[in-house]
């Protein structure tokens, strides 16, 4: 370890913290890349005082930006009043009841039952249990199989890693289990065949799902799992007609639809729910992240009528609903989330995001002709551009050139943090961003792209 790290916070981190998605040996030697110590609005500041626009809202989650004193006051009050109580065996707190009621108010029609959890992974894991519980209640316990998409992301618990369609989350862990099946990522730019229209591509992908259901036996297929816009899979919007065609196949065979709205929920795509943007009729919605503006861990499964009927039948049969965590419905987290939803109401979140959409997508559009940009994609306040070596052939750069790490360094140099996914640079800024800040974010991104282009 180099000298300046000794006895510093960085040294403590290097010596003791195991970081996700980090090379552990390198981290022992070099310590953290940076330490973020403060935030204000859409910016975070490192220990040297340098500010960055958080163009990805940290992990797609800091919807209200950083350093929010109003939320701190609410948390303080809830800790002072009670601090903690559980919701087992019918116990309750006003905070949990009020949050569930407010969330039910903004949930899509026909979905007004809320199961509180603490993370996106927990919400997806719980939703999976509910799917199996539902089919058992329906006298079809053999309906176990789950269909999700390659490159979809639904968490990294044991079962949620199986829902996640990224091979690197399976390797080394002996996953996935045999119930999990994956279909093509709806990534038009890379996965469509030559000359195939978006609608044709969508038809092909829906057919693929139908063929899989028929091959496996419809009586064994439980649910289809999807993010309306794929986040960690590359900030990929679905091709025209995709969800309409997929939903028709699922309806034909009675397969449940679980919408993972951990990123898309709370107006990220321009409507309150990504499901509304794309006309999806989900049976279950998983949400987290912006539910509390990420300042405190909390998530929820929003349960539609069909599944709730099954859950009630199970609890009639077995005496109670046997699932729950110590921290599900934590009153401090619920109080904060309730305040976050109140702020969304006050700022008219959906209208705000809609009013920014053309500036945001226009920022990408203005970069479309940049020599390094092969493709742009986006909706609402989530989008990405794809970096290529050759716009015509769509060839990517030689990995030896390390273009994406270079772009990461350069965007940071220009005071912008983005989310890099493969060759894509994704942006999903805090929803409180203003039009002027959207402009500034793209100015910084362009400066980094220009500098990278000059260096290449
Ligand atoms: N689903 C989606 C769509 C996500 O983006 C994430 C987190 N990035 C998760 C689930 C898992 O959430 P968490 O990290 O809170 O467990």
pLDDT of residue 367: 98
Are 236 and 186 in contact, with CB atoms under 8 Å apart?
A: yes
* Pocket flag, ligand 1, residue 225 (CB < 6 Å): no
Distance from C-alpha of 370 to C-alpha of 448, rounded to nearest angstrom? 12
Distance from C-alpha of 293 to C-alpha of 62, rounded to nearest angstrom? 5
- Which residues make Cβ contacts (< 8 Å) with residue 233, sequence separation at least 6? 149, 151, 152, 153, 165, 166, 185, 187, 227, 421
Closest C-alpha to 425, from 389, 373, 379: 373
58 Cα–ligand 1 center, Å: 12
111-117 sheet: strands from edge to edge: 111-117, 299-304, 284-287, 256-260, 221-226, 145-149, 180-183
Which phi-psi region, left, alpha or beta, contains residue 415 (left: φ > 0; alpha: ψ -120 to 50)?
A: left
CATH code: domain of residue 372? 3.90.1150.10
pLDDT of residue 2: 46
Residue 330 lies in a domain: yes
My answer on whether 309 and 188 are in the same domain is yes
Residue nearest (by alpha carbon) to ligand 1 atom 14: 120
CATH code: domain of residue 244? 3.40.640.10
Q: Which atom of ligand 1 is nearest to the CA of 261?
A: 3
* Pocket flag, ligand 1, residue 261 (CB < 6 Å): no
Four-residue CA torsion sign, 204, 385, 361, 227: positive
What long-range pairs does 240-244 form, CB within 8 A, spacing at least 24?
Answer: 240/198, 240/199, 240/202, 241/198, 241/199, 241/202, 241/203, 242/186, 242/201, 242/202, 242/205, 242/206, 242/278, 243/278, 243/279, 243/280, 244/202, 244/279
pLDDT of residue 222: 99
Q: Which atom of ligand 1 is nearest to the CA of 157?
A: 16
Domain end position, chosen among 347, 376, 399: 347
Residue nearest (by alpha carbon) to ligand 1 atom 12: 120
Domain end position, chosen among 347, 375, 407: 347
My answer on whether 286 and 431 are in the same domain is no
Residue 11 lies in a domain: no
Best probe residue, ligand 1, of 56, 236, 262 (max atoms within 8 Å of C-beta): 262
Q: Which atom of ligand 1 is nearest to the CA of 264?
A: 3
Are 235 and 151 in contact, with CB atoms under 8 Å apart?
A: no
Residue 64 lies in a domain: no
My answer on whether 323 and 361 are in the same domain is no
* Pocket flag, ligand 1, residue 160 (CB < 6 Å): no
- Which residues make Cβ contacts (< 8 Å) with residue 25, sequence separation at least 6? none
Q: Which atom of ligand 1 is nearest to the CA of 61?
A: 8
* Pocket flag, ligand 1, residue 120 (CB < 6 Å): yes
Distance from C-alpha of 345 to C-alpha of 275, rounded to nearest angstrom? 19
Side-chain half-sphere exposure of 136, counting CA atoms within 13 A: 13
Best probe residue, ligand 1, of 58, 118, 121, 292 (max atoms within 8 Å of C-beta): 121
pLDDT of residue 3: 46
Domain end position, chosen among 347, 378, 394: 347
Buried b (16+ CB within 10 A) or exposed e, 203-232: bbbbeebbebbeeeeeeebbbbbbbbbbbb
Residue 432 lies in a domain: yes
* Pocket flag, ligand 1, residue 260 (CB < 6 Å): yes
Are 144 and 179 in contact, with CB atoms under 8 Å apart?
A: yes
18 Cα–ligand 1 center, Å: 19
**Residue 307, Cβ neighbours under 10 Å: how many?**
25
For every residue of 120-175, DSSP letters joined together read: HHHHHHHHHHHHHHHHHHTT-TT--EEEEETT----SSHHHHHHS--GGGTTTTT-
- Which residues make Cβ contacts (< 8 Å) with residue 103, sequence separation at least 6? 114, 291, 300, 302, 337, 341
Structural domain of 432: 34-55+349-455
* Pocket flag, ligand 1, residue 233 (CB < 6 Å): no
Distance from C-alpha of 352 to C-alpha of 72, rounded to nearest angstrom? 24
Residue 41, phi then psi, degrees to nearest 5? 55, -130
ipTM value greater than 0.90? yes
* Pocket flag, ligand 1, residue 375 (CB < 6 Å): no
My answer on whether 330 and 387 are in the same domain is no
Residue 22 lies in a domain: no
254 Cα–ligand 1 center, Å: 26
Residue position matching structure tokens 């006003």: 94
* Pocket flag, ligand 1, residue 280 (CB < 6 Å): no
34 Cα–ligand 1 center, Å: 23
Distance from C-alpha of 449 to C-alpha of 310, rounded to nearest angstrom? 52
Tell me the C-alpha to C-alpha distance, in Å, between residue 390 and each of 136, 397, 411.
Answer: 52, 8, 21
Best probe residue, ligand 1, of 58, 152, 155 (max atoms within 8 Å of C-beta): 155
Residue 23 lies in a domain: no
* Pocket flag, ligand 1, residue 119 (CB < 6 Å): yes
Partners of 230 in the β-ladder: 236
My answer on whether 229 and 205 are in the same domain is yes
Number of domains into which the chain is organized: 2
Residue 129, phi then psi, degrees to nearest 5? -60, -40
pLDDT of residue 6: 45
Partners of 45 in the β-ladder: 38, 51
My answer on whether 281 and 409 are in the same domain is no
My answer on whether 197 and 305 are in the same domain is yes
* Pocket flag, ligand 1, residue 155 (CB < 6 Å): yes
Distance from C-alpha of 15 to C-alpha of 324, rounded to nearest angstrom? 35
My answer on whether 268 and 175 are in the same domain is yes
369 Cα–ligand 1 center, Å: 33
* Pocket flag, ligand 1, residue 265 (CB < 6 Å): no
My answer on whether 86 and 45 are in the same domain is no
My answer on whether 405 and 279 are in the same domain is no
pLDDT of residue 317: 97
pLDDT of residue 4: 52
* Pocket flag, ligand 1, residue 93 (CB < 6 Å): no
Kindly calculate the radius of gyration of the chain based on its CA atoms and give it in whole angstroms.
Answer: 22
Omega of the bond leading into 176 within 30 degrees of 0 (cis): yes
pLDDT of residue 1: 41
* Pocket flag, ligand 1, residue 151 (CB < 6 Å): no
Reading the chain (456 residues) residue by residue, the pLDDT tens digits are 444 544 589 999 999 999 999 999 999 999 999 899 999 999 999 999 999 999 999 999 999 999 999 999 999 999 999 999 999 999 999 999 999 999 999 999 999 999 999 999 999 999 999 999 999 999 999 999 999 999 999 999 999 999 999 999 999 999 999 999 999 999 999 999 999 999 999 999 999 999 999 999 999 999 999 999 999 999 999 999 999 999 999 999 999 999 999 999 999 999 999 999 999 999 999 999 999 999 999 999 999 999 999 999 999 999 999 999 999 999 999 999 999 999 999 999 999 999 999 999 999 999 999 999 999 999 999 999 999 999 999 999 999 999 999 999 999 999 999 999 999 999 999 999 999 999 999 999 999 999 999 999
Residue position matching structure tokens 């091959």: 215
Residue 1 lies in a domain: no
Best probe residue, ligand 1, of 20, 120, 295 (max atoms within 8 Å of C-beta): 120
My answer on whether 119 and 252 are in the same domain is yes
Map residue 325 onto helix, strand or coil. coil
* Pocket flag, ligand 1, residue 262 (CB < 6 Å): yes
My answer on whether 335 and 365 are in the same domain is no
Instruction: Give the rounded distance of the alpha carbon of 328 from its chain centre.
Output: 20
Instruction: Give the rounded distance of the alpha carbon of 111 from its chain centre.
Output: 20
Distance from C-alpha of 197 to C-alpha of 202, rounded to nearest angstrom? 9
Residue 62 lies in a domain: no
């Amino acid at each position: 370890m180099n000298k300046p790290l000794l006895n510093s916070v960085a040294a403590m981190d290097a010596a003791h913290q195991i970081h996700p998605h980090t090379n552990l040996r390198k981290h022992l030697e070099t310590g953290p890349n940076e330490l973020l110590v403060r935030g204000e609005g859409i910016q975070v500041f490192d220990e040297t005082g340098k500010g960055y626009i958080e163009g990805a809202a940290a992990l797609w989650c800091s919807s209200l930006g950083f350093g929010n004193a109003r939320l701190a006051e609410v948390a303080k009050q809830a800790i002072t009043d009670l601090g903690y109580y559980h919701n087992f065996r019918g116990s309750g707190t006003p905070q949990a009841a009020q949050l569930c009621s407010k969330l039910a108010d903004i949930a899509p029609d026909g979905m007004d039952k809320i199961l509180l959890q603490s993370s996106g992974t927990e919400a997806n894991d719980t939703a999976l249990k509910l799917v199996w519980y539902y089919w058992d209640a329906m006298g079809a316990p053999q309906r176990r199989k789950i269909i999700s998409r390659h490159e979809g992301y639904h968490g990294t618990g044991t079962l949620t890693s199986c829902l996640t369609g990224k091979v690197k989350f399976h390797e080394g862990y002996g996953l996935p289990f045999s119930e999990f099946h994956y279909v093509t990522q709806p990534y038009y730019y890379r996965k469509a065949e030559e000359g195939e229209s978006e609608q044709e591509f969508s038809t092909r992908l829906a057919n693929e799902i139908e063929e899989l259901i028929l091959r496996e036996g419809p009586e064994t297929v439980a649910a289809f799992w999807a993010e309306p816009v794929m986040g960690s899979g590359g900030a990929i919007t679905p091709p025209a007609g995709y969800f309409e065609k997929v939903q028709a196949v699922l309806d034909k065979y009675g397969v449940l639809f679980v919408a993972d709205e951990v990123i898309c929920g709370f107006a990220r795509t321009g409507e309150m729910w990504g499901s509304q943007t794309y006309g999806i009729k989900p049976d279950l919605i998983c949400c987290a992240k912006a539910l509390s503006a990420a300042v405190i861990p909390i998530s929820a499964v929003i349960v539609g009528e069909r599944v709730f009927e099954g859950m009630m039948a199970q609890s009639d049969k077995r005496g109670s609903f046997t699932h729950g965590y110590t921290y599900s419905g934590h009153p401090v987290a619920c109080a904060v989330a309730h305040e976050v939803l109140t702020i969304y109401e006050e700022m008219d979140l959906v209208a705000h995001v809609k009013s920014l959409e053309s500036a945001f997508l226009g920022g990408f559009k203005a970069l479309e002709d940049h020599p390094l940009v092969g493709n742009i994609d986006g909706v609402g306040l989530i989008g990405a551009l794809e970096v290529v070596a050759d716009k015509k052939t769509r060839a990517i750069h030689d990995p030896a050139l390390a273009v994406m790490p270079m772009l990461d360094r350069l965007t940071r140099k220009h005071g912008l943090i983005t989310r890099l996914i493969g060759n894509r640079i994704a942006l999903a800024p805090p929803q409180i961003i203003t039009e002027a800040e959207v402009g500034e974010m793209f100015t910084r991104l362009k400066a980094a792209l220009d500098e990278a282009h000059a260096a290449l």
